[in-house]
Structure 1
Amino acid sequence: MQRVTITLDEDLLSAIDARVKSHNYQGRSEAVRDLLRTGLLDSSTHSPEPAKHCIATLSWVFDHATRDLAQRLSTLFHRHHSLIHTTQEIPLDHHHSMAVAVLKGESNSVHALTERVISERGVRHGRVFMVPIAPDIEEHAHGDQVEPHTHWRVRDS
């Protein structure tokens, strides 16, 4: 590891110290490393060679009263059905729900889909968490069947 010196204003340093305490980090360095990793994964330019594939969760809160929102999202999801593994909707109150989707596929396609969902009129809050993965095609037995299939290995960056 290399040591890096940075200058922070008092408010930001206080926020980092509060995170160290609330998340039980051993020190500021661990908290800052974790925040940087998360921030870099959230950005579309997190490495010189971005992951070609990812697995992701997308969560969003939406207003049921928004005209045609359900139809627009349904159409969007059907157009991108190969990226979607599952979706779940949780009612929050009489007007709002939270939805969660698990996605897997080519990183640029997953990112584009999540941006479309989050930007839809009626979506109040949205957040995506993407994890880089790499396909690894193997042939080995599962029970009495031997056939090639893909395992998705989590990448470090």
Structure 2
Amino acid sequence: MQRLTITIDDDLVASVDDFIAARGYANRSEAIRDLVRSGLQQSSLEVAEGRDCIATLSYVYDHEARELPKRLTQEFHDHHHLAQATLHVHIDHDSCLEVTVLKGRSAEVKAFADHVIAERGVRHGHVVFMPSDVDAGVHRHDHPHRAGKKRI
């Protein structure tokens, strides 16, 4: 195991310590190792060029921003093969939150998500990538579905 020495500002240390307390880590090293692993995993999924992925795109936008809802709608129509489903929430008089599930080639998903987040009037945006072993093509229906108990 290697020992690293890093310098970070006081506000970031406070945030790390809050994270440690909230998650119950025994020390900073364990927490920082997990944060680094998570960041590296996310980064590798984002740049996996030919790989299929599933991602969630979350963003808050000003629905009064000039033509923004119209532009966003057009972007989603232009990329209908990526957007699987969207949840729309009215936060307050000026702000809306949307969470969209995206599915496709990681490079294309990333480019689309980055484009949406960069739109003028989008205040906050975040995309989270997950690996997908599912073919990006059509879902087959020639396989048996397991019969099971109904859950209520």
TM normalised by structure 1 equals 0.75
2:134 is paired with a residue whose SS is: strand
Q: Which amino acid aligns with 1:50?
A: A
CA contact (8 A) 1:41 1:131 kept: no
State, as a whole percentage, how many aligned pairs show the same letter. Answer: 41
Q: Which amino acid aligns with 1:6?
A: T
C-alpha separation between the residues in 1 aligned to 2:29 and 2:132?
26
Q: Deviations over 1:97-142 (max 9, x none)?
A: 1111011111001101100100111111111111122237998522
Post-superposition offset of 1:28: 2.2
**Structure 1 segments of 4+ aligned residues over 6 angstroms from their partners:** 136-139
Q: Which amino acid aligns with 1:33?
A: R
Higher strand share: 1
Give the CA RMSD over aligned residues.
2.7
Post-superposition offset of 1:10: 6.2
Partner of 1:16: 16
Q: Deviations over 1:5-24 (max 9, x none)?
A: 23334624443233211222
CA contact (8 A) 1:73 1:117 kept: yes
Post-superposition offset of 1:143: 5.3
Q: Count matched residues.
A: 140
TM normalised by structure 2 equals 0.77
Q: Deviations over 1:9-43 (max 9, x none)?
A: 46244432332112222332331122113322443
C-alpha separation between the residues in 1 aligned to 2:33 and 2:132?
21
Unpaired stretches in structure 2, ≥5 consecutive residues: 148-152
Q: Deviations over 1:62-101 (max 9, x none)?
A: 1111111111111111111111111011111111111110
